Structure 1
Amino acid sequence: MQNYVVMGVSGCGKSSVGTAVAHALGGQFIDGDDLHPPQNIAKMAQGQPLTDADRAPWLEQIGQTLCMQQDVTVIACSALKRRYRDIIRRAAGQQVTFLHLSGTRQVIESRMAARTDHFMPLSLLDSQFAALQQPSQDERAITVDIDQPFDVVVAQILTQING
């Protein structure tokens, strides 16, 4: 059994891509935003970036949730820094592949501006890009450029997973 974390800055398409990948793999999708403690959501909704102390219990919860699954599971989680991904891997207690949805600030900004149903304000985008550390060669990760049609993004991920 394999678990995946769809990662990237807010607005890159983690939920929609994660749902499609999970469906194609016959697994389940979990939105990591649903695992945030209420105080984190309130803080972000007020335009305040989370601190590492705010994130730590959430990242542990992401990993523990992966650990408890019996089937292929895809969780959306920003996982912007290497140490965040390390927390998730450690808490999961098993192999995790990160699916990095990579895009330019301009692409992400246009997507975020079009959203009306999300707690993350556009004002936090710069802090997301400042925090982003690309996955290293020694991490199990697949990186895909999101500046292409949705179906192509999903197909490229599936090709690399099944490759």
Structure 2
Amino acid sequence: MLGALLSALVLWLASGLVAPVPTGWRAAGTVGFALLAVARDAGLLPRLRLPQNARQVPQDVLQRDLARGALQFGFEMGTGVRTYVSASLPYALALAVLLANDAGVALLAGLGFALGRAATPTLRFASGTGEEWDDRLIGRLPLLTTGAATAATAAWTVLALRAW
């Protein structure tokens, strides 16, 4: 939670730089990038590479001190900076927070990102069959990523239309 809120805070602080851009243009930019995210996740733009630090938090973080290691691991995963990001939606969300220039939007996005990041390990653990759960997830991942990006794009489109 703290890592995601820190990322949201940084994006919100940086959003002051786009404040002079008209609201309608910022809304259109959010929807436009979200549509690119949907197209990328649907496989229509496979060559569109998004920046990421493509490495995971090292396992030795947990081995040094379990409690502090778990907090550090969770913090780093929550920021979304030191991990693999397989879907385009987090990038679209980051841009939406940046272009929204609204502290409430940043807070809600940070909370939503944190809950989303926590959902996968929580559901995997609750299933009791981690390996089988992983196999089912891999089979459904394209539908999940494209569906989530499509739903977010629809929501952002409605909000953008309200802004005009």
Same fold (TM over 0.5): no
Higher helix share: 2
Q: For the superposition of Structure 1 and Structure 2, which TM-score range results when normalised by the shorter chain? A: under 0.3
Q: Which of structures 1 and 2 has the bigger CA Rg? A: 2
